[in-house]
Amino acid sequence: MTGSHRIAHWIVAGRWPCLAAAAVLAALAWLPATRLEFDRSLENMFRRGDPLLAAYRRLREQFGEDEIVMAVYEDPQLLAADGSGIERLAALDRQLREVPGVREVLSLAEVNRALQVVTSLPRLGPSADAPAAIARPDDPLAAAFRDMFAGYTHDARGQIAALACMLEPESTAPCPRRDTIDRLRGILEGRPRGMVAGEPVMVMDGFRYLDRDGRRLGWATMSLLALALFLSFRSLRWVVIAILVVQWTLLLTRASVVWLGLRLSMVSSMLNAIVTVVGVATVVHIIVRFRQARVRGLEPRAALVQTLAILLVPIFWACATDAAGFLSLRVAQVGPVRDFGLMTALSCWWVLCGVMLVVPGLALCGRFDSDPRHTWGDDWLGTELLRMVHGAARRPRGPLVTLVLLFGVSVAGLFRLQIETDFTRNFRRGSPIVESYAFIESRLGGAGVWDVLVPAPAVLDVAFVDRMAAFQEALRAITIDSDAGQRVIGLTKVLSLIDGIQAAGVHPLLAHVPPELRARGMTLTMPHFTAALRTGHGDSAQNYVRVMLRAREQQTAREKAQLIAAVTRVAQEHFPAGADGPGAEVTGSYVLLTNLIDSVLRDQWLCFGVAALSVGLMLAVAFRSIRLALVALVPNVLPILFVLGAMGWLDVKVNMGAAMIAAVSMGLSVDGSIHYIMSFVQARRGGWSVRRAMCEVQHTVGRAVVYATVALIVGFLALCGSEFVPTIYFGCLVSLAMLGGLLGNVLVVPLLLLVAARSPGAGVRDRG
């Protein structure tokens, strides 16, 4: 009796203690698994030491960690002379300030109050009795401030109002961020065209959809999988076993993530799908082998012992190579990607534990519906699989040439890949966040918010103000080449404290007031605005002023990169770093989100290379043959390259759902090849000829791979109903990669094994 048979006997004999152990582990994991949280930090999506983060953190250190939500609504009478529009705005301003989690609100109402204070001073202007000082058509000071804030607090025509709601940091907020945004959204829904937008809203809605998808699509996916498995094997018992293995693994994986102090992110939203793939594929192999043993007349217990004896080694190496492939993500620079690699690697080992602990007890519990049965078309499938083997044996050269050509075309397509930098494209058209951003883009200018952090003297003098004014004019003059072949203005708005100082100077009595005094006057009349644009005031070693930029969010990656590079160049020209101090820094959420997918995509190729190497080494150890390891790698690497290459040729942009597909698919698709090659080698060691061994493996492992792949693809169709576009991409691309892996396992692996069998030193050569 071999070692595998002894272990299989031990597992089957101890099936009830194993099942009890599985129940105890599930009970222990239940409470921790419910405490799993999402990491919503944008900073953690970048590698440590990334220069983009240094500037972003400096901005937050100097000006606080406030995140801004824009509350927007339509009011054609916003700047009415009777002040009715400003009164409505002021009432909404007060209402938004009362929302828990909102620290301050900047709106045209605050600008109006400041002008009322200024114009109430002797000799400076009309009486303060006018309810809408900002709306005075003949007041040059009001006109200057209207122009200054156009695009931020209102549109150029004075028909759209925008209120910048500054949120408290999540660590100190009195309620969850989601509740704050929901309250703001509820208040604005009662206004004409009322809506909220901003990076916190996009991120929160993204996680909201992921959370909702995780619950709704999880059950939909499992329901479709159950239906597909039932139609494939016509056994309710084995459908329940597959589902329980997946759910048990998910529970233990989630608990392990909590025990390790990790949190989920947008990247790790794929965790459920990956556990489902590994778990279902493993159980399907057991079902097919168990059914075959029962057909040959073995009793259920003997059939299960034989099944496990045959599959223990392949299942172990399949889980081990999956884990090795996923652990390759640990070399990534992005924190959540590294964490995701650890989570998925753990899930592979929990799948192995789940199969050993759960399957024997449930498979042999009672006699009702204990045997998986043949389904319609099963004989036809077996015939077609055998025909593929015979065809590969007769004409191997044609398929090999096709593989080489396919590889070349796919690699060429990789160089055409483009990243998706418009974060609103992560949501379905018609969703509230997409509509709000489209409205802001069309009526208030660009929705992309970013900043330039400029070192400033403790006292703002005329020389610095003139230097800043020249810098801002240079920023406003930046143009870029659009993808349509036109030269267009890059920035839709440039605003800083310098604009306020210059706007105040249009009044004759303020024109000769020093810039520092004008700035201090603005601090008294508009404290929230000036606090957001200037820091230090002589109390710190380094003072800064902040230039707030707006740009169109809905641009291509090339256009955004061109614009960011142009702004960076202008900033360095006007405020270069030197021995006397730091230079100007370009930062903000617009810059981070533009580089986010590019950062993950760069990590993908590194991780993919490490995954291919680590999986290849694991396969070489498992097969004790480098040549067989290459036979297993080729049909699994090629579908991944083909899917990504096709995206390049079809101009399908890479988003978060596609950015990790290469490294993830490597760990998912190699299982079938391991089962195929190990079964083939075992048959050859049993004295079978190459042709007979291959036909037997195609008849058993080939069928299992087909059934598992079909069931998983059907299950992943549920992901197409997600509101979050990266989830849809992931479901579609993984399905395509699995379909490619299926074709590779039933077409390419037999072909390469035949080639290897004709070569010396392969370990599978036909001896006659």
Going from N- to C-terminal start, the domains of the chain cover 3-41+234-415+594-757, 61-203, 432-593
Q: What is the pLDDT of residue 746?
A: 86
Q: What are phi and psi of 662, to 5 degrees?
A: -65, -55
How many whole angstroms separate alpha carbon 349 and alpha carbon 330?
A: 17
Amino acid at 373: R
Q: What is the pLDDT of residue 286?
A: 92
* Residue 471 · residue 574 · CB < 8 Å: yes
Q: In sequence order, what DSSP letters do the residues of 150-194 get, joined into one string?
A: BTTTB-TTS-EEEEEEEEPPTTT-SS-HHHHHHHHHHHHTTSTT-
Show Cβ contacts of residue 483 under 8 Å, excluding neighbours closer than 6 positions. 556, 558, 559
> What region, left, alpha or beta, does residue 536 occupy, with left being phi > 0 and alpha being psi -120 to 50 degrees?
left
> What region, left, alpha or beta, does residue 197 occupy, with left being phi > 0 and alpha being psi -120 to 50 degrees?
beta
* Residue 140 · residue 506 · CB < 8 Å: yes
Q: What is the pLDDT of residue 127?
A: 47
CA 214 from chain center: how many Å?
A: 14
CA 503 from chain center: how many Å?
A: 43
Q: H or E segment at 227?
A: helix 199-233
For the chain, how long is the longest CA-to-CA vector?
111
DSSP symbol at 768:
-
Both structure tokens of 715: 């299950």
Could you give the 3-state DSSP secondary structure of residue 495? strand
Could you give the 3-state DSSP secondary structure of residue 580? coil
How many whole angstroms separate alpha carbon 754 and alpha carbon 689?
A: 11
How many whole angstroms separate alpha carbon 471 and alpha carbon 575?
A: 9
In angstroms, what CA-CA distances link 725 with 286, 362, 366, 441? 35, 38, 45, 21
Both structure tokens of 155: 């549109």
Work out whether strand 491-495 and strand 543-551 pair parallel, antiparallel, or are unpaired. Answer: antiparallel
Show Cβ contacts of residue 552 under 8 Å, excluding neighbours closer than 6 positions. 441, 445, 446, 447, 448, 492
Q: What are phi and psi of 448, to 5 degrees?
A: -80, 120
Residue with tokens 């929901």: 182
Residue with tokens 């015979």: 390
DSSP symbol at 717:
G
How many whole angstroms separate alpha carbon 693 and alpha carbon 663?
A: 32
CB neighbourhood size of 377 (10 A): 11
**CB burial string 471-500: b at 16+ within 10 A, e below:** bbebbeebebebeeeeeeebbbbbbbbbbb
Both structure tokens of 6: 């002894």
Q: What are phi and psi of 80, to 5 degrees?
A: -65, 145
DSSP symbol at 578:
B
Q: What is the pLDDT of residue 130?
A: 53
Q: H or E segment at 37?
A: none
Q: What is the pLDDT of residue 156?
A: 84
Show Cβ contacts of residue 698 under 8 Å, excluding neighbours closer than 6 positions. 385, 386, 388, 389, 746, 750
Show Cβ contacts of residue 484 under 8 Å, excluding neighbours closer than 6 positions. none
Show Cβ contacts of residue 261 under 8 Å, excluding neighbours closer than 6 positions. none
Q: In sequence order, what DSSP letters do the residues of 506-549 get, joined into one string?
A: TSTTTTTS-HHHHHHHHHHH-HHHHHTTEE-TTSSSSEEEEEEE
Show Cβ contacts of residue 171 under 8 Å, excluding neighbours closer than 6 positions. none
Both structure tokens of 697: 């493996």
Q: What are phi and psi of 459, to 5 degrees?
A: -120, 125
Residue with tokens 């090999």: 400
| Regions of the chain where pLDDT drops below 50 | 123-124, 127-129, 537-539, 766-768
Please, is 469 exposed, middle or buried when counting C-beta atoms within 10 Å of its C-beta (0-12, 13-18, 19+)?
middle
Show Cβ contacts of residue 312 under 8 Å, excluding neighbours closer than 6 positions. 4, 7, 8
Q: What is the pLDDT of residue 538?
A: 44
Q: What is the pLDDT of residue 94?
A: 92
How many whole angstroms separate alpha carbon 245 and alpha carbon 283?
A: 8
How many whole angstroms separate alpha carbon 648 and alpha carbon 369?
A: 48
Could you give the 3-state DSSP secondary structure of residue 654? strand
Please, is 376 exposed, middle or buried when counting C-beta atoms within 10 Å of its C-beta (0-12, 13-18, 19+)?
exposed
Query: Residue 142's closest CA among 507, 488, 476?
Result: 507
Q: What is the pLDDT of residue 48?
A: 67
Q: What is the pLDDT of residue 465?
A: 92
Amino acid at 290: F
In angstroms, what CA-CA distances link 404 with 408, 413, 531, 585, 642? 6, 14, 62, 48, 12
Q: What is the pLDDT of residue 128?
A: 44
How many whole angstroms separate alpha carbon 703 and alpha carbon 287?
A: 11
For the entire predicted model, the pTM comes to: 0.76
Query: Residue 255's closest CA among 523, 73, 24, 496?
Result: 24
How many whole angstroms separate alpha carbon 52 and alpha carbon 587?
A: 7
Q: What is the pLDDT of residue 357?
A: 95
CB neighbourhood size of 35 (10 A): 10
DSSP symbol at 244:
H
Q: Can you list the positions of beta strands (E) in 374-517?
A: 448-456, 479-481, 487-489, 491-495
Both structure tokens of 292: 């075959």
